[in-house]
Amino acid sequence: DVKVTQSSRYLVKRTGEKVFLECVQDMDHENMFWYRQDPGLGLRLIYFSYDVKMKEKGDIPEGYSVSREKKERFSLILESASTNQTSMYLCASSIRTGVFETQYFGPGTRLLVL
Amino acid sequence: DAKTTQPTSMDCAEGRAANLPCNHSTISGNEYVYWYRQIHSQGPQYIIHGLKNNETNEMASLIITEDRKSSTLILPHATLRDTAVYYCIVITSGTYKYIFGTGTRLKVLA
């Protein structure tokens, strides 16, 4: 079974703090993704990575950065948290086949920025 | 990307089959139909996917019409733990881009 884990289920931070969200997968997947999910807006892709040290912007990268130093770990960084970054953050991973790439999701981190 | 249309909500009696429809009338030849579900406050869980043939796994069956314009996810014997939001999405072969809509909120009733 694919396992994607996220460092925290719930997190409360203050405006202006630097926030790190960690994601680890144990299936040797090349691709990793960060999404945020908000009511009425569905899932929106923030960043993804297709290899170590590689990253690509998704649809809403502003205010976020990412780091992928090891294949199994993908970190999302909020440089200076703001209240509009209160959301559910979901990490996913997939193997790269070039044909179809089923994404497997972690349990999510619910972030509240005060 | 092909869009999907799903009913907002459905109820199903426990033990009965739950049939969740999805319309994807603009799907193209290299696009797959995927189904995920999301139980409250958890990450989406992969269920099944298909291209044009019907598919079955330990969780569900996927029936895709011959013209591929619609599909139905079947949970053969729904349990209370199947209460969740079910998402039908269309994925282009070789792409990473997943677009989740609002899904169908399935409530399994005791």
**B49-87: pLDDT as tens digits:** 999 989 999 999 999 999 999 999 999 999 999 999 999
Cβ within 8 Å, pair A99-B94: yes
| Local confidence band at B88 (pLDDT 50, 70, 90 cut-offs) | very high
pLDDT over 80 (residue A101): no
| A77 vs B: CB within 8 A | no
d(CA B85, CA A80): 32
Determine the pLDDT at residue A100: 64
Minimum-distance CB partner of B96 among A99, A101, A108 = A101
Determine the pLDDT at residue B29: 86
**A111 phi-psi bin (left φ>0, alpha ψ -120 to 50, beta other):** beta
3-state secondary structure of B82: helix
Determine the pLDDT at residue B1: 53
Cβ within 8 Å, pair B96-A48: yes
Query: A interface mutation test: which of B30, B35, B96 has the most A CBs within 10 A?
Result: B96
Lowest mean pLDDT among A30-34, A72-76, B92-96, B105-109: B92-96
Q: Which residues pair with B49 in a beta bridge?
A: B34
**B19-53: pLDDT as tens digits:** 999 999 999 888 899 999 999 889 999 999 999 98
Alpha carbon of B101: minimum distance to chain A alpha carbons (Å): 6
Average pLDDT across chain A, whole number: 92
**DSSP secondary structure string for all residues of A37-79:** EETTTEEEEEEEESSTT--EE-S--TTEEEEEEETTEEEEEES
Query: Tokens 């189904």 map to which residue?
Result: B35
Determine the pLDDT at residue A99: 62
Minimum-distance CB partner of A108 among B42, B91, B95 = B42
**Average pLDDT score over residue span A5-12:** 94
pLDDT over 80 (residue A2): no
pLDDT over 60 (residue B2): no
| A69 vs B: CB within 8 A | no
pLDDT over 80 (residue A98): no
**A43-89: pLDDT as tens digits:** 899 999 999 999 999 999 999 999 999 999 999 999 999 999 999 99
Contact yes or no for A66/A57 (Cβ under 8 A): no
